[in-house]
Amino acid sequence: MEVLVILVPLALGLGLVGLLGFLWSLKSGQYDDLEGAAWRAIADDEPAREPPLD
């Protein structure tokens, strides 16, 4: 059971990192435009010309 000494702080630490990551992403405005973000993920970076209209 000595393994708890490592595992419990590790688990809490990971959780805390997740929380801090969330708070950072919130602060940097990543939840301001959820619809746009969904499209940006699949958009091409710098297309050479206008994409054809579908």
Partner 1 sequence: MQATRDFSHYVRDIGSGVRHIDLAVEGVSCAGCMSKIERGLSAMPDVTLARVNLTDRRVVLEWKQGTLDPVSFIDRLAELGYKAYPFETAGAEAAEAKQSRFLLRCLGVAAFATMNVMMLSIPVWSGHAGDMIPEQRDFFHWLSALIALPAAAYAGQPFFRSAFAALRTRNVNMDVPISIGVMLALGMSVVETLNHAEHTYFDAAIMLLTFLLVGRYLDQSMRLKTRAVAGNLAALKAETATKFIGADEISEVPVEAIKTGDIVLLRPGERCAVDGTVIEGRSEIDQSLITGETLYAAAGHGTAIYAGSLNISGTLRVRVSAASEGTLLAEITRLLDNALQARSRYVRLADRASRLYAPVVHATALLTMLGWVLAGASWHDAIVTAVAVLIITCPCALGLAIPTVQTVAAGAMFRAGVLLNSGDSIERLAGVDHVIFDKTGTLTLPDLEVMNAADIPEDILRLAGRLALASHHPIAAAVARASNASSPLAGAVEEPGQGVRGLFDGVEVRLGRPSFCGAEQLAHDSLSLDQEASMVAFSMGEARYLFAVRQALRPDAGAMISALSKRHIAVEILSGDREPAVRAAASALGISEWRAGVTPADKIARIEDLKSRSFKVMMVGDGLNDAPSLAAAHVSMSPISAAHLSQATADLVFLGKPLAPVVAAIDFSRKALHLMRQNLWLAVGYNLLAVPIAISGVVTPLIAAAAMSGSSLLVMLNALRARRVAPGGA
* Interface positions with partner 1 (CB under 8 A): 1, 4, 8, 11-12, 15-16, 18-19, 22-23, 26, 31-36, 39-40, 42-43, 47, 50-51, 53
Q: How far is the CB of 5 from partner 1 (least distance, A)?
A: 10
Q: How far is the CB of 38 from partner 1 (least distance, A)?
A: 8
Task: List Cβ neighbours of 7 (8 Å cut-off, separation of 6 or more).
Answer: none
Q: How far is the CB of 43 from partner 1 (least distance, A)?
A: 6
> Residue 52 in contact with residue 46, Cβ under 8 Å?
no
CB atoms within 10 A of CB 40: 9
